[in-house]
Copies of this chain bind each other. A is one copy, B any other.
Amino acid sequence: MNQIKIGLLGMGRIGRIHLRNINQHLDGARIIAVADPQIEASRFNAEYPGLFFSQEAQDVITRQDIDAVLICTPTSSHANLIELAARNGKHIFCEKPMDLSLSRTISLAEMAKVSGVKLMLGFNRRFDPDFMLARQSVREGRIGDLQIVKITSRDPGLPPIDYIRNSGGLFMDMAIHDFDMARYIMGKEVKEVYARGLVVVDQAVGEAGDIDTALTTLIFEDDTYAVIDNSRKAVYGYDQRLEIFGKGGMIRVGNNLHNQNVLFDETGIHHALPLDFFMDRYSKSYQKEMEAFIDVLQNDSPIPSGVEDALQATLIAYGANMSMRKGEPVRLSEIDISLKKAV
């Protein structure tokens, strides 16, 4: 089987993770070209000899020897790059979301369907080994028909206010991972959403027009539900838990702690805190995500997180925002898809 040749667009935190995971760990693919407008070519070449580099994404996308691109640039550029790559017949892996605008997301989803290129979205948590195992146990019927999914998803600290301002809001930026996880576990579509939001971590978040704390109820098409509890700041660290309750039992996925040491002293029994943040907590999910993308390209496997998933998660995020503003549940079928912005 031929090795897949990949162009990487964007060398931020996530781009670097993909570069290392593919070029150091995967035999089936190789990143051979990189674009990033923020990096000096000389600097890049010194650090990564042998890789093609340009500050222009177009220089990478249009290369003949590239089979696929990884879009790891800021969200605002995703849509254009997806279109450019599709026009050039390159398969695409794009970090979520495709676009903050719902109508653009829908048109990108439609374009991808007709273009013949494969488009996979970066819902990396689907590839976390613990969550994958939980889903597999559910599919095997270990806990019977599902009744409720509960997700706790709390960051260890606020991102910069500037980041928040351009993030599309907590539901679109952060909770969207959890909305996708709920669909992934349940294997059903959401029909209605009820969301509450608070500014309790830092008033600056509210001044930037966002919330830092949220509670969302998702109603699935068969009336079962999921509840998702988000916070931008848990002082004890990155809290990522999942609880699935069904007619035949329950599955809980706990946090990965820093270590397995326990200290017993006069004041109590003390365990370590959870892993710091997504780079640590989800390091394996990024590896497995790239393995899955390569598998899609090499073996024509079904896309495990595709445009429909992205569209649904985005719709839910829109619905959550609307619900929060109206103080009422919102049916996804009633959302005006010509909306340009969730918030």
Enumerate chain A interface residues (CB-CB to B < 8 A). Answer: 24, 129-130, 133-134, 137, 142-143, 145, 147-148, 150, 154, 194, 196, 198, 200-201, 213, 215, 217, 219, 223-225, 227, 229, 231, 234-236, 239, 245, 247-257, 259-273, 327-329
Contact = CB atoms under 8 A, between A and B. Distances in A.
Contact of A273 (B223, B247, B269, B272): B269
Contacts of A327: 329
Contact of A215 (B24, B227, B235, B329): B227
Contacts of A270: 267-271
A147 to B, nearest CB: 5
B252 A264 contact: yes
B249 A235 contact: yes
Contacts of A145: 200
A26 to B, nearest CB: 12
A272 B148 CA distance: 23
A235 to B, nearest CB: 5
Nearest to A272: B268
12 contacts: A24-B24, A129-B259, A137-B263, A143-B265, A148-B229, A198-B223, A200-B224, A215-B225, A217-B217, A250-B264, A250-B265, A327-B329
Contact of A328 (B239, B251, B262, B328): B328
Given A236-B268, A236-B269, A264-B273, 16 more contacts: A130-B260, A133-B259, A134-B261, A147-B231, A148-B215, A215-B225, A227-B229, A234-B264, A235-B265, A236-B266, A249-B265, A253-B260, A257-B269, A268-B273, A270-B270, A328-B329
B263 A249 contact: yes
Contacts of A260: 130, 253-256
B271 A269 contact: yes
A125 to B, nearest CB: 14
Contacts of A215: 148, 217, 225, 227
B262 A251 contact: yes
A196 B219 contact: yes
A131 to B, nearest CB: 9
A16 to B, nearest CB: 15
Contacts of A225: 196, 215
A190 to B, nearest CB: 13
B252 A261 contact: yes
